[in-house]
Structure 1
Amino acid sequence: MSIRHGLLALLEHGPRYGSQLRSDFESRTGATWPLNVGQVYTTLSRLERDGMVAQSGEDDAGHALYVITETGRTELKSWFEAPVDRSSPPRDELAIKLAMAIGAPGVDVRAVIQSQRHHTVKAMQDYTRLKVQALAEIEGRAKGADARERDVAWLLVLEQLIFQTEAEARWLDHCEARLIRLSVTAERRAAQHPNTAAPLLGQPSPPVSSEARSGAPERPPG
C-alpha cells in the first residue's frame, strides 16, 4: 500500500495537518488499512525531504499544515497513470501456509483449507452487508461533494474486498479438489509401491495386505 501517494492525493484537495490526513485517509478507505499519526508524520517528513510537500503555516488551533508541491503533483500524476506492478507480488500468508502444510507431519491440509474457507466466506458476507449500507448512504440522502466522494471511495474499496474474498474462496475450493485428486493418485501408487511417499493430505493410508497387493482375495482370520 502506498501511503505516501495516498497522502499526496489528499493534499491535492488542499492544506492538511497530520491527524486530519489520517482521518481523511481512513474515511475514504473505511479504515480498512488504519494509520497511526506517527506513521503519517514519518511519511510527511520523507515527502518533505524529497521536495513533494512543504509546510505552510498553521491553522487556528496551531496545527502545522502541509501542502503539495509541483514535484509532488508530478509524482502523483505518474502514480495515477502507471499500473500497479504485479511482477513482485506481496507475500500472501495463506498461500505460504498451504505451501508449508503440504507434507507437514501431523497436519491435515483439508482441515486447514476448511477452516480458512469458513473465515473467508464470513468475511465476504460481512463485506457484502457493508456494501448494502454504503449504497444506502450514497442513494439515501443528498450530501455535499466531499461526503459523497468519501462514500463512493469506500464503496470501491468494499467491492474490491468482496471480489478478493470471492476469488480466495474459489481458490480454496480448487486447492482442495486438486489435493484430493493428487492424494488419490498417491494412494494408488502406495498400494502398488509400498515405499512411496504418504498422501498429500496428511492422512496416512490404511495398511495394504500382501494379498491385496498381489491381487488375491484376503482370507478372513481364524
Structure 2
Amino acid sequence: MSIRHGLLALLEQGPRYGSRLRTEFEARTGGTWPLNIGQVYTTLGRLERDGMVVHDGEDEGGRALYALTGAGRTELAAWFARPVERAGPPRDELAIKLALAVGAPGVDVRAVVEAQRRHVTEALHEYVRQRAQALAQSPGHPVEVARLLVLEQIICHAEAEIRWLEHCEARLLRLRTETSTP
C-alpha cells in the first residue's frame, strides 16, 4: 500500500493537515487500512523533503497545512498511470500454513482448511453487510464509491480464498483416496 501516493491524492483536492489526511484516507478505504498518525506525519516529512508537498500556513485551529507542489502532481499522475506491479507472489500465511501442515505429525490438514473456511465465510458475510450498508447510504458520493470499491475487492478476495480452500480440500481427498487404495 502506498501511503505516500494516497496522501498525494488527497492533497490534490486542496491543503490538508495531518489528522484530516488520516481521517480522509481511512474513510476512502472503508477503514480497511487504518493509518497511524505517526505514519502520516513521517510520510508528509519525506514528501516535503522530496519537494512534493510544502507547508501552506495553518488552519484556524493552528494546525499545519500541507499542499501539493507541481512535482507532487507529476508524481501522482505517474502513479495513477502505471499499473501496480505483480512481480512476485505475495507471501501468504495461509498458503504457508497449509503447505507446512501437509505431512506434519498430528495435524489434520482438512480440519485446518475447514476452520479457515468458516472464518473466511463469517468475514465474507460481514463484508457483504458493510457493502449493503454503503449502498443504502449515498452510493453516488465519491467517498462511498471509494469505500464500495475497496469492500468489493475484499469480498472478491474472500470468495477466491473460499474457492481455493475448496480446491485444497478436494485435492486432499483425492490424495487420501489414492494413497489408501492398494
Deviation at 1:69, TM superposition (A): 1.1
Partner of 1:137: 137
Instruction: Write the letter of the residue equivalent to 1:171.
Output: W
Partner of 1:52: 52
Aligned residues: 182
Taking only aligned residues, the RMSD between alpha carbons, in angstroms, comes to: 1.3
- Structure 2 stretches lacking a partner, 5+ long: none
Instruction: Write the letter of the residue equivalent to 1:154.
Output: R
CA distance in 2, matches of 1:173, 1:151: 33
Partner of 1:113: 113
Deviation at 1:187, TM superposition (A): 2.4
Partner of 1:36: 36
Q: Deviations over 1:178-220 (max 9, x none)?
A: 11112222223xx4xxxxxxxxxxxxxxxxxxxxxxxxxxxxx
Instruction: Write the letter of the residue equivalent to 1:160.
Output: Q
Deviation at 1:89, TM superposition (A): 3.2
CA distance in 1, matches of 2:81, 2:171: 39
- Structure 1 stretches lacking a partner, 5+ long: 140-144, 192-222
1:72 is paired with a residue of what secondary structure? helix
Deviation at 1:17, TM superposition (A): 0.7
Partner of 1:159: 152
Highest relative contact order (Cα 8 Å, sep 6+), 1 or 2? 2
- If the length of structure 2 is used for normalisation, what is the TM-score? 0.95
Instruction: Write the letter of the residue equivalent to 2:145.
Output: V
Partner of 1:92: 92
Runs of 4+ in 1 over 3 A off after TM superposition: none
CA distance in 2, matches of 1:120, 1:34: 20
Deviation at 1:92, TM superposition (A): 1.3
CA distance in 1, matches of 2:120, 2:154: 11
Among 170, 173, 177, the residue aligned to 1:177: 170
Q: Deviations over 1:134-185 (max 9, x none)?
A: 111025xxxxx8xx11111101111111111011100000011011112222
2:137 is paired with a residue of what secondary structure? helix
1:65 is paired with a residue of what secondary structure? strand
Instruction: Write the letter of the residue equivalent to 2:170.
Output: A
Instruction: Write the letter of the residue equivalent to 1:66.
Output: Y
Instruction: Write the letter of the residue equivalent to 1:102.
Output: V
1:138 is paired with a residue of what secondary structure? coil
Larger Rg: 1 or 2? 1
2:165 is paired with a residue of what secondary structure? helix
- If the length of structure 1 is used for normalisation, what is the TM-score? 0.79
CA distance in 2, matches of 1:88, 1:69: 33
1:55 is paired with a residue of what secondary structure? strand
Deviation at 1:67, TM superposition (A): 0.8
Partner of 2:74: 74
Deviation at 1:123, TM superposition (A): 0.8
Instruction: Write the letter of the residue equivalent to 1:57.
Output: G
Instruction: Write the letter of the residue equivalent to 2:97.
Output: K
Q: Deviations over 1:114-150 (max 9, x none)?
A: 00000111111111111111111025xxxxx8xx111
Q: Percent identity?
A: 65
Q: Deviations over 1:17-75 (max 9, x none)?
A: 11000000011111111011111101111111111111111111111111111111111
